[in-house]
Amino acid sequence: MPGTERKDVVAEVLHPSLQQAAGLVPDLLAFIARDDAGEADFNVLALRLFAHQFQHNAAFQKFCQQRGRTPRTVKRWQDIPAVPINGFKDLTLSCVPTEQCERVFMTSGTTRGDVKGRHWHPELAVYDLSMTRNFRARFMAGRERIRMGILFPDEQLMPNSSLAHYLALALHNFDLPDSRYYLDSAGLQLDVLCATLEQVQKSGEPFALLGASYSFVHLMDALQARGLRFTLPKGSRLLDTGGFKGQSREMEMDAFYDSLSATFGVPRSACINMYGMTELSTQFYDAGNAELPALKSGPHWIRSRVVDPLTGQEMPAGERGILAHTDLGNFNSVTTILTEDVGVAVDSGFLLLGRAQGAQAKGCSLAVDEFLKAARA
């Protein structure tokens, strides 16, 4: 029963440090627990969160004032100033004093050297409810539980990784016996994983393999070196996320899903890509990657726009722009963020076209990463 589940969660989150947000979090949990919500209800809650964040987060207030936006002038969720993800590196975006926060998730820091973005969470009830409701709807395909293999380190090894927490939630809420991690501080446990995959193949029971996109590349390379391929039972699913981030060789996405499908015997339509960000509390999914680029969409408590990076104006439908997301799950930081991801708005979602390779070097002029490496050395 979603109702009882919600009550427990609500009781737990009324932490003293959250008294300023009292009322907000329960309403938010209730909103997430609804089956759906229209534009008007979304708008009401978004504006309440904006007023709350404007009042309690000094850095954000200043950011808004520089743009001449206050709770008085902002009447539509689309007008809430979008904080660039760099803001999570340079500013402390938290309504609650950070020492009172249960968790902080950090970005991997690939674009600006050592500077990591920090996303402060006073507690994780909202994050966890957002993740589990959405994951059930978008990945579980009607099942309650499935046997899982995780291609990522666990939360103890990576306490500041939102992806580690996400995968832990998947495992704890949706697993069947014998689910486990196949990556630890020593790396990929290839022998154990191969044994599992062989056993699963014989058992006929569906299996889900979840992890970072680059972990899948390493795994496929290792399996290819051993000449191994599997045909996982019908109903098996794969979930990859995060792209390659220089952690593995870059692959064309088409080749990546072809290769996934060929290596594990799972149709591309059951290879789900999750698009998530440390700076958000909610994830986006596609419905398989039979065709690229796959349509991404999120649940009713997150809305996305495609904007011009310089003016912030929404792009005409069908034109490429930068994605901005308004995530009601971000009750303590900022609801609205401006990403560095390129997308196109389409009906019922958006197409993710990759990262804006901004200062892409054409000649002898510049490659920002190279200089940043030099400046760090």
Task: Name the residues that contact other proteins, by CB under 8 A.
Answer: 59, 62-63, 66, 84, 86-87, 89-91, 112, 308-312, 320-322, 338, 340, 342, 356-368, 370-372, 374-375, 377
User: Integer distance in angstroms from the first to the last C-alpha of the chain?
Assistant: 55
The nearer residue to other proteins, 88 or 181, going by C-beta atoms, is 88
Environment class of 212 (CB within 10 Å of its CB; exposed 0-12, middle 13-18, buried 19+): buried
The nearer residue to other proteins, 49 or 91, going by C-beta atoms, is 91
The nearer residue to other proteins, 197 or 323, going by C-beta atoms, is 323
Provide the b/e sequence for 99-112 (b: ≥16 CB within 10 Å).
Answer: eebebbbbbeeebe
- Write down the least CB distance from residue 295 to other proteins, Å: 20
- Write down the least CB distance from residue 274 to other proteins, Å: 23
The nearer residue to other proteins, 1 or 374, going by C-beta atoms, is 374
Please report, for residues 44, 59, 239, 331, the alpha-carbon distance to residue 18 in angstroms, rounded to integers and kept in the order given.
20, 19, 34, 11
The nearer residue to other proteins, 348 or 360, going by C-beta atoms, is 360
- Write down the least CB distance from residue 357 to other proteins, Å: 6
Q: DSSP letters along 110-175, please?
A: -SSTT---EEEES-SHHHHHHHHHHHHHHTSTT-S-BEEEEES--TTT-TT-HHHHHHHHHHHHHB
- Write down the least CB distance from residue 339 to other proteins, Å: 10
- Write down the least CB distance from residue 374 to other proteins, Å: 6
Environment class of 39 (CB within 10 Å of its CB; exposed 0-12, middle 13-18, buried 19+): exposed
The nearer residue to other proteins, 48 or 89, going by C-beta atoms, is 89
CA distance 186 to 153: 10
- Write down the least CB distance from residue 246 to other proteins, Å: 11
